[in-house]
Amino acid sequence: MTDTKDPLVVFTPSGKRGRFPAGTPVLTAARQLGVDLDSVCGGRGICSKCQVTPGYGEFSKHGVTVHEDALSEWNAVEERYDQKRGLKPGRRLGCQATVQRDVVIDVPPESQVHRQVVRKAATARVIEMDPATRLYFVEVDEPDMHEPTGDLERLARALKREWEIPEIRADLTLLSKLQPTLRKGKWQVTVALHKSHRDAVASVIEIWPGLHEGGLYGLAIDLGSTTVAAHLTDLDTGEVKASSGIMNPQIRFGEDLMSRVSYAMMNPGGDVEMTAAVREAIDTLAQEIAREAEIDAALIVEVVLVCNPVMHHLLLGIDPVELGQAPFALATSESVSLMARELGLEAINTRARAYILPCIAGHVGADAAAVALSEEPGKSDDLALIIDVGTNAEILLGDKTSVLACSSPTGPAFEGAQISSGQRAAPGAIEAIRIDPETKEPRFRVIGCDLWSDEEGFAEATASTGITGICGSGIIEAVAELRMAGLMDESGLIGSAAQTGTSRCVAEGRTHSYLVFDASDTGGPRITVTQGDIRAIQLAKSALYAGARLLMDERGVDRVDRVVLAGAFGAHISPLHAMVLGMIPDAPLDKVTSAGNAAGTGARIALCNIAARAEIERTVRQIHKVETAIEPKFQEHFVAANAIPHKTAPFPELAKIAPLPNPSFNTKGEDPAGGGRRRRRRG
């Protein structure tokens, strides 16, 4: 596996890679790299658990070009399985396909043993209900030979008489069922009408004989670059009936947004591939969430979507190439209203409507607009800094006087990618960690278990999931804890065993790693925090902090009154660890709060209240966008923020509650294990 001539295999979404001799089964490569790929049949092509999707074309992010012959041709086992049970287009069986040349291989969620926990649950919120799509019960005049009018015209007359609906329209699929429905209901029917905030004419979405009491539902979807989260919402009560999420399948084309733009640039038709992948994922998610809530998917009559600009363009089938270069022009920044089926949503009502919130600017999208709708910084008396943390972070700073916005390319490290023992949030992943500053010993908690690792019953409680790796919130806390325990200095260097007094600091070449958990003697994982991991987190947090500071500079302030952490990350990390790391500017800890999935909440507000759509369309025009890519001070702030928590900012509020030790592990020529002698100074 060390021969550089061997083919390179890159697995997504984990990012794990290695070189393997030609002819190595994909499943074997996955197991040797510790990739989470399921298989229960011993590689005989029976269970289908090891399905994978190879990617072809130019992957600049991974530095590899994948040719059509990167994997072996279909064999008889795959052919037989496809005939009997069916394989999705593009899928291969990992136990049968063998590596022939460099290849990028995506492991879909259903093929993962420890499936992703999409931590974007709906946040409880009081919303004034006035949805765009509502039910109306009417009694329609029967046809009369002496007054020759059509059934649709008499339905319109009834709606105007009983509900003051001025005008309606209906498409051909609705017209074809209108007459039998009216007669079955004995001229009493319930109609679902969609009223746009821009158009006085209402559209008939559905019609039922008599009184329909089955309810109406909508989907609020937060389409992120890493995950897609959906909330199935009752359009009468606003109640969230079910929340669900899946990984964004576009990860196989690139973990971050610019990688996907690059893929579209380098591969003709690459944008079409990514559009098809995400539309299929959303349609599948809609089916699954309806099944989970035990409702008829045909009762889902409206969809509201929020997403960043690159996702926005790829969802709409627009090539995102212009977003990859200055001046980062959007095809449209306005809200978009269209038929849901135009976005490939076939599982829900065939006449369902879709609404996409407006984008703020080329790198600040509809998801940031949704956060603004949810958190309302423009209505705040105090100066609020709102950070929606993700692969591409959106940042808002404002109060009643003005609101500023920017985006910051944090990358996928916060999601557990690019981390040596990193993984997505799934049962068995370390999500929280504490290091005793005296003994330097760790204790941790994993997803799926409420116990800490030093509590009685932990081993039994985690026997089924195991301890598999460390996810985004876990690595954030681990780095902050290393700093607080004096095992890592301000620059991010981990000390040696001799310098720190603990054998958990292990030499790895010229640097050191901290050993969190080791089950290698029983065939389990060895989980460490490496110097490379810390560097990845430093880069991510520096970009986040620099974006926030840039907005503060624009506003002319050195402090903010409060900080709101939004997104899945914000709900799963303590303000203390975020502050120690220097992800956010210094503030009193009681003024640092979590808003949960604020983008998803904003989508639900727009779904449940038609006036909110007009409001956010007005609001985004008043938000001032700051472009980090062309601001010289961004790089200055970024470099200073590489230190933990910061090179020059004093962080007085943090010092009150968590004074940090100040070791220095820069050996300046010493042996990395701490045993070398200093160079003799010339004198």
Say if residue 120's pLDDT is above 60: no
Whole-number Å distance between alpha carbons of 126 and 134:
19
Say if residue 16's pLDDT is above 90: no
Q: What is the pLDDT of residue 592?
A: 93
Q: What is the pLDDT of residue 669?
A: 44
Among 192, 209, 226, which residue terminates a domain? 209
Among 510, 529, 548, which residue terminates a domain? 529
Note whether residue 502 is domain-resident. yes
Whole-number Å distance between alpha carbons of 256 and 667:
35
Q: Which of 268-282, 369-383, 386-400 is predicted least confidently?
A: 386-400
Number of domains into which the chain is organized: 4
What distances in angstroms separate CA 204 from CA 180, 194, 337, 557, 608, one per listed residue? Answer: 16, 6, 16, 52, 18
| Rounded average pLDDT over 41-61 | 81
Note whether residue 191 is domain-resident. yes
Q: What is the pLDDT of residue 524?
A: 79
Question: Which tens digit of pLDDT belongs to each residue from 203-227?
Answer: 999 999 999 888 899 999 999 888 8
Identify whether residues 454 and 506 lie together within a single domain: yes
Note whether residue 328 is domain-resident. no
Note whether residue 63 is domain-resident. yes
What distances in angstroms separate CA 98 from CA 6, 107, 430, 470, one per listed residue? Answer: 13, 15, 32, 29
Structural domain including 27 reads 8-111
Among 181, 209, 237, which residue terminates a domain? 209
Task: Tell me the CATH number at 200.
Answer: 3.10.20.880
Q: What is the pLDDT of residue 363?
A: 83
Q: Which residues of 188-199 are buried (b: 16+ CB within 10 A; e: fewer)?
A: ebbbbbbbebee
Note whether residue 546 is domain-resident. no
Helix (H) or strand (E) holding 192: strand 188-194
pTM over 0.75: yes
Identify whether residues 455 and 515 lie together within a single domain: yes
Q: Which amino acid, residue 160?
A: K
Question: Which tens digit of pLDDT belongs to each residue from 626-676?
Answer: 988 788 899 999 999 999 999 999 999 999 999 899 999 986 544 433 333
Identify whether residues 425 and 521 lie together within a single domain: yes
Say if residue 125's pLDDT is above 80: no
Question: Which tens digit of pLDDT belongs to each residue from 479-507?
Answer: 999 999 999 999 999 999 999 999 999 99
Question: Which tens digit of pLDDT belongs to each residue from 75-107?
Answer: 998 888 888 888 888 899 999 999 999 999 998
Say if residue 147's pLDDT is above 60: yes
pLDDT band at 114 (very low <50, low <70, confident <90, very high): low
Identify whether residues 449 and 376 lie together within a single domain: no
Q: Which of 177-186, 646-655, 674-683 is predicted least confidently?
A: 674-683
Q: Which of 40-44, 102-106, 321-325, 466-470 is predicted least confidently?
A: 40-44
Q: Which residue has the higher pLDDT, 471 or 613?
A: 613
Nearest of 557, 170, 10, 513 to residue 18 by alpha carbon: 10
Q: What is the pLDDT of residue 681?
A: 37
Cβ–Cβ < 8 Å for 272, 260: no
Identify whether residues 493 and 521 lie together within a single domain: yes
Task: Tell me the CATH number at 90.
Answer: 3.10.20.30
| Rounded average pLDDT over 438-457 | 95
Identify whether residues 523 and 470 lie together within a single domain: yes
Say if residue 679's pLDDT is above 70: no
Identify whether residues 389 and 428 lie together within a single domain: no
| Rounded average pLDDT over 111-129 | 65
- Mean pLDDT taken over the chain: 89
| Rounded average pLDDT over 35-62 | 80
Identify whether residues 513 and 478 lie together within a single domain: yes
